Chains A and B, each alone.
Chain A
Amino acid sequence: MDDPLICARAIHFAATIAAVGAIFFSIFIAGPAFSKVDAGARSPTVLRAQFAWLAWIGLAVAALSGAVWFILVAQSMSDTSFADVFSEGALWTVLLQTGFGRAWLARLILACLLAAVLTVSFQRRGKTPLANIFAVVLAGGFVGTLAFAGHAVGASGFEGVLHPAADFAHLVAAAGWVGMLVPLTLWLAAAARDEALAGAAYTVAKRFSNVSLVTVGVLLITGSINALYLAGSLFAITETDYGRLLLIKVALFLLMVAVAAVNRQVWTPRLVQDGNVASNREALSRLRRNAAIEVGFGALIIVIVAVLGMTPPSLHQQAITEMQHHSH
Protein backbone atom coordinates (compact mmCIF):
# COMPACT_ATOMS: atom_id res chain seq x y z
CA MET A 1 0.00 0.00 0.00
CA ASP A 2 1.22 3.48 -0.82
CA ASP A 3 -0.24 5.25 2.23
CA PRO A 4 2.84 4.99 4.51
CA LEU A 5 4.98 6.29 1.66
CA ILE A 6 2.61 9.22 1.05
CA CYS A 7 2.76 10.02 4.79
CA ALA A 8 6.57 9.81 4.86
CA ARG A 9 6.79 12.02 1.76
CA ALA A 10 4.37 14.63 3.15
CA ILE A 11 6.20 14.79 6.50
CA HIS A 12 9.59 14.97 4.78
CA PHE A 13 8.50 17.77 2.42
CA ALA A 14 6.94 19.75 5.29
CA ALA A 15 9.91 19.28 7.66
CA THR A 16 12.47 20.12 4.97
CA ILE A 17 10.59 23.22 3.85
CA ALA A 18 10.09 24.34 7.49
CA ALA A 19 13.79 23.87 8.34
CA VAL A 20 15.05 25.60 5.20
CA GLY A 21 12.44 28.37 5.56
CA ALA A 22 13.59 29.03 9.14
CA ILE A 23 17.21 29.29 7.96
CA PHE A 24 16.31 31.59 5.04
CA PHE A 25 14.14 33.77 7.31
CA SER A 26 16.85 34.07 9.98
CA ILE A 27 19.42 35.19 7.43
CA PHE A 28 17.45 37.23 4.88
CA ILE A 29 14.66 38.77 7.00
CA ALA A 30 15.29 38.57 10.74
CA GLY A 31 19.02 39.37 10.62
CA PRO A 32 18.61 42.83 9.03
CA ALA A 33 15.49 43.55 11.12
CA PHE A 34 17.17 42.70 14.43
CA SER A 35 19.74 45.41 13.77
CA LYS A 36 16.87 47.92 14.03
CA VAL A 37 15.72 46.59 17.39
CA ASP A 38 17.01 48.09 20.63
CA ALA A 39 20.14 46.12 21.62
CA GLY A 40 18.88 45.68 25.17
CA ALA A 41 15.59 44.05 24.15
CA ARG A 42 15.08 40.44 25.15
CA SER A 43 12.69 39.44 22.33
CA PRO A 44 15.35 39.04 19.59
CA THR A 45 17.14 36.45 21.74
CA VAL A 46 13.88 34.55 22.27
CA LEU A 47 13.00 34.72 18.56
CA ARG A 48 16.48 33.65 17.46
CA ALA A 49 16.13 30.62 19.74
CA GLN A 50 12.70 29.85 18.27
CA PHE A 51 14.01 30.01 14.69
CA ALA A 52 16.97 27.82 15.63
CA TRP A 53 14.63 25.26 17.23
CA LEU A 54 12.43 25.34 14.13
CA ALA A 55 15.44 24.63 11.94
CA TRP A 56 16.82 21.87 14.20
CA ILE A 57 13.47 20.13 14.72
CA GLY A 58 12.74 20.43 10.99
CA LEU A 59 16.11 18.89 10.13
CA ALA A 60 15.68 16.08 12.66
CA VAL A 61 12.17 15.22 11.42
CA ALA A 62 13.40 15.47 7.81
CA ALA A 63 16.21 13.02 8.61
CA LEU A 64 13.83 10.56 10.25
CA SER A 65 11.08 10.78 7.61
CA GLY A 66 13.74 10.70 4.87
CA ALA A 67 15.05 7.42 6.31
CA VAL A 68 11.53 5.94 6.41
CA TRP A 69 10.90 7.13 2.82
CA PHE A 70 14.17 5.52 1.72
CA ILE A 71 13.40 2.19 3.43
CA LEU A 72 9.88 2.05 1.94
CA VAL A 73 11.21 2.78 -1.55
CA ALA A 74 14.01 0.20 -1.14
CA GLN A 75 11.42 -2.34 0.00
CA SER A 76 9.25 -1.62 -3.03
CA MET A 77 12.19 -1.66 -5.46
CA SER A 78 13.52 -4.99 -4.22
CA ASP A 79 10.10 -6.67 -3.72
CA THR A 80 11.01 -7.75 -0.20
CA SER A 81 9.26 -7.61 3.15
CA PHE A 82 10.00 -4.87 5.66
CA ALA A 83 12.25 -7.27 7.66
CA ASP A 84 14.10 -8.66 4.64
CA VAL A 85 15.00 -5.25 3.28
CA PHE A 86 17.42 -4.90 6.21
CA SER A 87 18.89 -8.39 6.05
CA GLU A 88 19.34 -8.98 2.34
CA GLY A 89 21.52 -6.02 1.43
CA ALA A 90 18.76 -4.34 -0.55
CA LEU A 91 19.36 -1.04 1.25
CA TRP A 92 22.97 -0.91 0.04
CA THR A 93 22.04 -1.85 -3.50
CA VAL A 94 19.43 0.91 -3.61
CA LEU A 95 21.74 3.42 -1.92
CA LEU A 96 24.73 2.84 -4.19
CA GLN A 97 23.26 1.57 -7.48
CA THR A 98 20.16 3.68 -8.13
CA GLY A 99 19.68 7.36 -8.89
CA PHE A 100 17.25 7.66 -5.98
CA GLY A 101 19.81 6.13 -3.58
CA ARG A 102 22.62 8.39 -4.78
CA ALA A 103 20.34 11.43 -4.42
CA TRP A 104 19.57 10.35 -0.84
CA LEU A 105 23.27 9.86 -0.10
CA ALA A 106 24.00 13.36 -1.43
CA ARG A 107 21.15 14.79 0.66
CA LEU A 108 22.44 13.04 3.79
CA ILE A 109 25.86 14.61 3.27
CA LEU A 110 24.24 18.03 2.63
CA ALA A 111 22.19 17.68 5.83
CA CYS A 112 25.27 16.82 7.90
CA LEU A 113 27.25 19.76 6.47
CA LEU A 114 24.25 22.04 7.02
CA ALA A 115 23.98 20.93 10.65
CA ALA A 116 27.68 21.74 11.17
CA VAL A 117 27.37 25.19 9.56
CA LEU A 118 24.16 25.97 11.48
CA THR A 119 25.89 25.26 14.77
CA VAL A 120 28.39 28.01 13.95
CA SER A 121 25.86 30.39 12.36
CA PHE A 122 23.32 30.22 15.20
CA GLN A 123 26.00 30.40 17.93
CA ARG A 124 27.38 33.61 16.45
CA ARG A 125 23.86 35.04 16.07
CA GLY A 126 24.12 35.10 12.30
CA LYS A 127 27.01 37.58 12.38
CA THR A 128 29.41 35.39 10.41
CA PRO A 129 28.72 36.21 6.73
CA LEU A 130 30.68 33.21 5.45
CA ALA A 131 28.70 30.79 7.64
CA ASN A 132 25.47 32.46 6.45
CA ILE A 133 26.40 32.01 2.79
CA PHE A 134 27.25 28.35 3.36
CA ALA A 135 24.02 27.87 5.32
CA VAL A 136 21.92 29.35 2.47
CA VAL A 137 23.69 27.30 -0.22
CA LEU A 138 23.52 24.04 1.75
CA ALA A 139 19.90 24.61 2.82
CA GLY A 140 18.93 25.40 -0.79
CA GLY A 141 20.75 22.26 -1.93
CA PHE A 142 19.05 20.14 0.72
CA VAL A 143 15.53 21.12 -0.35
CA GLY A 144 16.31 21.44 -4.09
CA THR A 145 17.78 17.94 -4.40
CA LEU A 146 14.35 16.56 -3.54
CA ALA A 147 13.83 17.07 -7.28
CA PHE A 148 15.91 13.96 -7.85
CA ALA A 149 13.44 11.81 -5.95
CA GLY A 150 10.45 12.53 -8.16
CA HIS A 151 8.99 12.65 -11.63
CA ALA A 152 11.46 15.29 -12.81
CA VAL A 153 14.12 12.67 -13.46
CA GLY A 154 13.98 9.97 -16.08
CA ALA A 155 13.94 11.84 -19.35
CA SER A 156 16.85 12.22 -21.73
CA GLY A 157 18.21 15.17 -23.72
CA PHE A 158 17.10 18.75 -23.07
CA GLU A 159 14.13 17.68 -20.92
CA GLY A 160 16.52 15.59 -18.83
CA VAL A 161 18.32 18.82 -17.84
CA LEU A 162 15.56 21.46 -17.84
CA HIS A 163 12.95 19.47 -15.93
CA PRO A 164 15.12 18.62 -12.85
CA ALA A 165 16.56 22.17 -12.90
CA ALA A 166 13.06 23.68 -12.90
CA ASP A 167 11.95 21.34 -10.13
CA PHE A 168 15.07 22.20 -8.08
CA ALA A 169 14.30 25.93 -8.35
CA HIS A 170 10.61 25.24 -7.61
CA LEU A 171 11.48 23.50 -4.34
CA VAL A 172 13.93 26.22 -3.24
CA ALA A 173 11.30 28.88 -3.99
CA ALA A 174 8.64 26.89 -2.09
CA ALA A 175 10.91 26.84 0.96
CA GLY A 176 11.55 30.57 0.43
CA TRP A 177 7.85 31.32 0.60
CA VAL A 178 5.85 28.64 2.44
CA GLY A 179 8.79 27.77 4.70
CA MET A 180 9.36 31.39 5.72
CA LEU A 181 5.69 31.91 6.63
CA VAL A 182 6.07 29.97 9.90
CA PRO A 183 8.93 32.12 11.31
CA LEU A 184 7.10 35.20 9.96
CA THR A 185 4.04 34.22 12.02
CA LEU A 186 6.27 33.74 15.08
CA TRP A 187 7.81 37.19 14.56
CA LEU A 188 4.44 38.90 14.14
CA ALA A 189 3.12 37.17 17.27
CA ALA A 190 6.17 38.36 19.24
CA ALA A 191 5.84 41.87 17.80
CA ALA A 192 2.25 42.05 19.09
CA ARG A 193 3.62 41.54 22.62
CA ASP A 194 6.80 43.61 22.46
CA GLU A 195 7.02 47.27 21.47
CA ALA A 196 10.74 46.93 20.66
CA LEU A 197 9.95 44.40 17.93
CA ALA A 198 6.86 46.24 16.71
CA GLY A 199 9.16 49.05 15.53
CA ALA A 200 10.89 46.66 13.13
CA ALA A 201 7.70 44.92 12.02
CA TYR A 202 7.41 47.00 8.86
CA THR A 203 10.98 46.06 7.83
CA VAL A 204 10.14 42.39 8.36
CA ALA A 205 6.78 42.47 6.58
CA LYS A 206 8.16 44.51 3.67
CA ARG A 207 11.28 42.38 3.21
CA PHE A 208 9.21 39.21 3.39
CA SER A 209 6.76 40.61 0.87
CA ASN A 210 9.56 41.54 -1.54
CA VAL A 211 11.15 38.10 -1.25
CA SER A 212 7.68 36.57 -1.81
CA LEU A 213 7.29 38.49 -5.07
CA VAL A 214 10.44 36.83 -6.38
CA THR A 215 9.61 33.36 -5.05
CA VAL A 216 6.03 33.47 -6.37
CA GLY A 217 7.42 34.45 -9.79
CA VAL A 218 9.89 31.55 -9.70
CA LEU A 219 7.12 29.16 -8.55
CA LEU A 220 4.89 30.25 -11.45
CA ILE A 221 7.57 29.85 -14.12
CA THR A 222 9.06 26.58 -12.84
CA GLY A 223 5.59 25.19 -12.01
CA SER A 224 4.52 25.86 -15.60
CA ILE A 225 7.59 24.02 -16.92
CA ASN A 226 6.84 21.03 -14.65
CA ALA A 227 3.18 21.03 -15.70
CA LEU A 228 4.13 21.18 -19.36
CA TYR A 229 6.25 18.04 -19.01
CA LEU A 230 3.91 16.11 -16.70
CA ALA A 231 0.38 17.25 -17.47
CA GLY A 232 0.76 18.43 -21.05
CA SER A 233 -2.68 18.71 -22.56
CA LEU A 234 -6.11 19.94 -21.51
CA PHE A 235 -7.35 16.33 -21.71
CA ALA A 236 -4.57 15.24 -19.37
CA ILE A 237 -5.40 17.96 -16.85
CA THR A 238 -9.15 17.47 -16.70
CA GLU A 239 -9.45 13.72 -17.26
CA THR A 240 -6.77 12.20 -15.00
CA ASP A 241 -6.27 12.02 -11.22
CA TYR A 242 -2.90 13.70 -11.64
CA GLY A 243 -4.34 16.60 -13.61
CA ARG A 244 -7.21 17.14 -11.19
CA LEU A 245 -4.88 17.10 -8.18
CA LEU A 246 -2.68 19.60 -9.99
CA LEU A 247 -5.69 21.87 -10.53
CA ILE A 248 -6.50 21.78 -6.80
CA LYS A 249 -2.87 22.60 -6.06
CA VAL A 250 -2.96 25.58 -8.42
CA ALA A 251 -6.25 26.78 -6.90
CA LEU A 252 -4.73 26.65 -3.39
CA PHE A 253 -1.63 28.45 -4.67
CA LEU A 254 -3.81 31.25 -6.13
CA LEU A 255 -5.67 31.55 -2.81
CA MET A 256 -2.30 31.90 -1.06
CA VAL A 257 -1.25 34.58 -3.55
CA ALA A 258 -4.55 36.44 -2.95
CA VAL A 259 -4.05 36.43 0.84
CA ALA A 260 -0.40 37.49 0.37
CA ALA A 261 -1.53 40.35 -1.89
CA VAL A 262 -3.93 41.61 0.79
CA ASN A 263 -1.07 41.54 3.31
CA ARG A 264 1.21 43.41 0.93
CA GLN A 265 -1.27 46.02 -0.31
CA VAL A 266 -3.51 46.61 2.71
CA TRP A 267 -1.90 45.64 6.02
CA THR A 268 1.85 46.11 5.56
CA PRO A 269 1.51 49.85 4.67
CA ARG A 270 -0.56 50.38 7.86
CA LEU A 271 2.43 49.41 9.98
CA VAL A 272 4.11 52.73 9.18
CA GLN A 273 1.27 54.99 10.32
CA ASP A 274 3.27 56.59 13.09
CA GLY A 275 1.51 57.36 16.31
CA ASN A 276 -1.57 55.33 15.56
CA VAL A 277 -1.02 52.47 18.00
CA ALA A 278 -4.46 50.92 17.49
CA SER A 279 -4.05 50.83 13.72
CA ASN A 280 -0.59 49.28 14.08
CA ARG A 281 -1.89 46.60 16.40
CA GLU A 282 -4.75 45.76 14.09
CA ALA A 283 -2.37 45.56 11.11
CA LEU A 284 -0.03 43.25 13.05
CA SER A 285 -2.90 41.03 14.09
CA ARG A 286 -4.32 40.84 10.53
CA LEU A 287 -0.89 40.14 9.04
CA ARG A 288 -0.33 37.34 11.52
CA ARG A 289 -3.76 35.80 10.96
CA ASN A 290 -3.37 35.92 7.18
CA ALA A 291 0.14 34.45 7.37
CA ALA A 292 -1.29 31.60 9.48
CA ILE A 293 -4.02 31.04 6.85
CA GLU A 294 -1.30 30.90 4.19
CA VAL A 295 0.57 28.31 6.28
CA GLY A 296 -2.64 26.21 6.28
CA PHE A 297 -2.97 26.42 2.48
CA GLY A 298 0.75 25.66 2.15
CA ALA A 299 0.36 22.53 4.29
CA LEU A 300 -2.51 21.32 2.06
CA ILE A 301 -0.34 21.92 -1.01
CA ILE A 302 2.46 19.84 0.53
CA VAL A 303 0.02 16.93 1.09
CA ILE A 304 -1.04 17.19 -2.57
CA VAL A 305 2.61 17.21 -3.68
CA ALA A 306 3.21 14.04 -1.62
CA VAL A 307 0.32 12.34 -3.45
CA LEU A 308 1.28 13.71 -6.89
CA GLY A 309 4.69 12.04 -6.65
CA MET A 310 2.92 8.69 -6.26
CA THR A 311 0.39 9.30 -9.04
CA PRO A 312 1.21 8.60 -12.68
CA PRO A 313 1.68 11.94 -14.42
CA SER A 314 -1.12 12.79 -16.83
CA LEU A 315 0.98 12.46 -19.96
CA HIS A 316 2.17 8.99 -18.91
CA GLN A 317 -1.39 7.96 -18.13
CA GLN A 318 -2.70 9.38 -21.40
CA ALA A 319 -0.06 7.46 -23.33
CA ILE A 320 -1.01 4.24 -21.52
CA THR A 321 -4.69 4.79 -22.37
CA GLU A 322 -3.78 5.34 -26.00
CA MET A 323 -1.62 2.19 -26.01
CA GLN A 324 -4.46 0.15 -24.55
CA HIS A 325 -6.88 1.47 -27.18
CA HIS A 326 -4.32 0.73 -29.83
CA SER A 327 -3.88 -2.86 -28.75
CA HIS A 328 -7.64 -3.59 -28.66
Chain B
Amino acid sequence: MRLTIPVLLLAAAAILALPEIGAAQQKPTAAGSAAVPALTGSALAGQKLAFSRKKGNCLACHTMRGSDVPSNVGPELVNLKALFPHRKDLVAIVTNEQARNPQTVMPPFGKNLILSAKEIQEVVDFLYTL
Protein backbone atom coordinates (compact mmCIF):
# COMPACT_ATOMS: atom_id res chain seq x y z
CA MET B 1 0.00 0.00 0.00
CA ARG B 2 2.59 2.47 1.14
CA LEU B 3 4.78 1.75 -1.86
CA THR B 4 2.15 3.01 -4.24
CA ILE B 5 1.90 6.42 -2.61
CA PRO B 6 5.01 8.04 -4.12
CA VAL B 7 4.10 6.66 -7.52
CA LEU B 8 0.59 8.06 -7.40
CA LEU B 9 2.03 11.27 -6.17
CA LEU B 10 4.44 11.61 -9.04
CA ALA B 11 1.75 10.90 -11.56
CA ALA B 12 -0.74 13.31 -10.05
CA ALA B 13 1.82 16.03 -9.48
CA ALA B 14 2.99 15.91 -13.06
CA ILE B 15 -0.40 17.08 -14.25
CA LEU B 16 -0.27 20.11 -12.07
CA ALA B 17 0.93 23.48 -13.14
CA LEU B 18 3.25 26.20 -12.17
CA PRO B 19 5.41 28.07 -9.67
CA GLU B 20 4.05 30.51 -7.20
CA ILE B 21 6.72 29.96 -4.63
CA GLY B 22 7.73 32.67 -2.22
CA ALA B 23 4.52 34.42 -1.38
CA ALA B 24 5.90 36.88 1.16
CA GLN B 25 6.40 40.43 0.02
CA GLN B 26 8.96 42.95 1.13
CA LYS B 27 9.77 46.52 0.24
CA PRO B 28 11.46 47.05 -3.13
CA THR B 29 15.23 47.23 -2.95
CA ALA B 30 17.78 49.35 -4.73
CA ALA B 31 17.96 46.67 -7.41
CA GLY B 32 14.51 47.75 -8.53
CA SER B 33 15.51 51.31 -9.23
CA ALA B 34 18.74 50.66 -11.17
CA ALA B 35 18.78 52.11 -14.65
CA VAL B 36 16.89 49.70 -16.88
CA PRO B 37 17.51 49.75 -20.62
CA ALA B 38 14.28 49.94 -22.60
CA LEU B 39 13.68 46.38 -23.71
CA THR B 40 11.80 45.59 -26.87
CA GLY B 41 10.60 42.60 -28.81
CA SER B 42 11.84 39.22 -27.78
CA ALA B 43 13.95 40.44 -24.82
CA LEU B 44 10.92 42.24 -23.40
CA ALA B 45 8.80 39.12 -23.82
CA GLY B 46 11.59 37.17 -22.11
CA GLN B 47 11.66 39.57 -19.17
CA LYS B 48 7.91 39.18 -18.70
CA LEU B 49 8.32 35.41 -18.67
CA ALA B 50 11.25 35.56 -16.25
CA PHE B 51 9.39 37.82 -13.81
CA SER B 52 6.00 36.10 -14.03
CA ARG B 53 5.18 33.95 -11.00
CA LYS B 54 3.25 31.55 -13.17
CA LYS B 55 5.97 31.10 -15.78
CA GLY B 56 9.70 31.54 -15.09
CA ASN B 57 9.45 32.92 -11.58
CA CYS B 58 13.22 33.28 -11.81
CA LEU B 59 13.02 36.09 -9.24
CA ALA B 60 12.09 33.56 -6.57
CA CYS B 61 15.65 32.25 -6.62
CA HIS B 62 17.81 34.80 -8.46
CA THR B 63 18.46 38.47 -7.88
CA MET B 64 18.78 40.34 -11.19
CA ARG B 65 18.23 43.79 -12.61
CA GLY B 66 14.61 44.65 -11.92
CA SER B 67 14.24 42.35 -8.87
CA ASP B 68 11.77 43.65 -6.31
CA VAL B 69 13.16 41.59 -3.43
CA PRO B 70 16.54 39.90 -3.06
CA SER B 71 16.75 36.12 -3.55
CA ASN B 72 19.85 33.98 -3.25
CA VAL B 73 18.79 30.40 -3.71
CA GLY B 74 20.69 30.70 -7.01
CA PRO B 75 23.50 33.08 -8.02
CA GLU B 76 22.80 36.68 -9.04
CA LEU B 77 22.18 36.84 -12.77
CA VAL B 78 24.48 39.47 -14.16
CA ASN B 79 27.05 39.80 -16.93
CA LEU B 80 25.81 36.65 -18.62
CA LYS B 81 27.29 37.45 -22.03
CA ALA B 82 30.77 37.18 -20.57
CA LEU B 83 29.95 34.09 -18.53
CA PHE B 84 28.12 32.22 -21.28
CA PRO B 85 29.36 33.40 -24.67
CA HIS B 86 27.75 30.36 -26.32
CA ARG B 87 24.01 30.79 -26.55
CA LYS B 88 23.40 27.05 -26.48
CA ASP B 89 24.87 26.86 -22.96
CA LEU B 90 22.28 29.29 -21.58
CA VAL B 91 19.51 27.53 -23.47
CA ALA B 92 20.67 24.25 -21.93
CA ILE B 93 20.68 25.68 -18.38
CA VAL B 94 17.13 26.98 -18.67
CA THR B 95 15.92 23.87 -20.48
CA ASN B 96 17.28 21.38 -17.97
CA GLU B 97 19.92 22.45 -15.45
CA GLN B 98 19.77 18.95 -14.00
CA ALA B 99 21.77 17.74 -17.00
CA ARG B 100 24.71 19.87 -15.82
CA ASN B 101 24.08 19.41 -12.10
CA PRO B 102 21.80 16.51 -11.13
CA GLN B 103 21.40 17.92 -7.61
CA THR B 104 20.25 21.38 -8.63
CA VAL B 105 17.03 22.83 -7.22
CA MET B 106 16.50 24.85 -10.41
CA PRO B 107 13.39 23.51 -12.17
CA PRO B 108 13.90 21.97 -15.65
CA PHE B 109 11.83 24.58 -17.49
CA GLY B 110 12.11 23.05 -20.94
CA LYS B 111 12.15 19.40 -20.07
CA ASN B 112 9.03 19.72 -17.89
CA LEU B 113 7.26 21.96 -20.42
CA ILE B 114 7.02 24.92 -18.06
CA LEU B 115 8.38 27.08 -20.89
CA SER B 116 8.09 26.30 -24.61
CA ALA B 117 11.14 26.27 -26.89
CA LYS B 118 10.17 29.72 -28.20
CA GLU B 119 9.73 31.06 -24.66
CA ILE B 120 13.15 29.77 -23.68
CA GLN B 121 14.69 31.64 -26.62
CA GLU B 122 12.95 34.81 -25.42
CA VAL B 123 14.18 34.31 -21.86
CA VAL B 124 17.71 33.85 -23.14
CA ASP B 125 17.40 37.06 -25.21
CA PHE B 126 16.47 38.80 -21.96
CA LEU B 127 19.31 37.15 -20.04
CA TYR B 128 21.79 38.55 -22.55
CA THR B 129 20.66 42.09 -21.62
CA LEU B 130 21.66 41.54 -17.97
Please determine whether chains A and B interact with each other in the same assembly.
Answer: no
Name A's B-contacting residues (CB within 8 A). Answer: none
